[in-house]
Amino acid sequence: MNGRFFICLIESVSMANPYVSAFVKKRANGVCELYEQPAHFNDKNGKPYLECHHIKFLSQGGLDTIENCVALCVVCHKKAHIVDDPEDRLKMMKKAGFDNPLQEVW
């Protein structure tokens, strides 16, 4: 390493509940809950590939519950993390079943 030091920063990782993920994917029935279109592709078992997204990120104190999660296609999931659009967040909250998505419930 020629006398150089490398620093590795490790971010805290929370383990998500696989039952929450399974529930929101089943609720979505193969359709992205943001884009409202079928998943772009199927997984190796032939099921539509969707990813579980926490509307309020776990790293920001969000809960690992079905009320804080939606099933997103890979494009929308990446967008949700990079752009974090308030309009998208509101739409996801409605899909997750909030009665009043304008109220902060976390």
Per DSSP (E only), the strands in the chain are 51-54, 69-72
Each domain of the chain, given as residue ranges in start order, spans: 18-96
Fold of 18-96: DNA Binding (I), subunit A (1.10.30)
Question: What does the DSSP assignment read for 29-50?
Answer: TTB-TTT-SB-SSB-TTSSB--
Give residue 4's pLDDT band: very low, low, confident or very high (50, 70, 90): low
User: pLDDT tens across 75-85, in order?
Assistant: 999 999 999 89
Which helix (H) or strand (E) segment is 21 a member of?
A: helix 18-28
pLDDT at residue 10 tops 80 = no
pLDDT of residue 91: 95
Q: How far apart are CA 94 and CA 46, in angstroms?
A: 28
What residues have CB less than 8 Å from 102, skipping those under 6 apart?
A: 90
pLDDT of residue 8: 47
Mean pLDDT value across residues 83-100? 89
pLDDT at residue 63 tops 90 = yes
pLDDT at residue 105 tops 70 = no
Cβ atoms of 15 and 37 within 8 Å: the answer is no
pLDDT at residue 60 tops 60 = yes
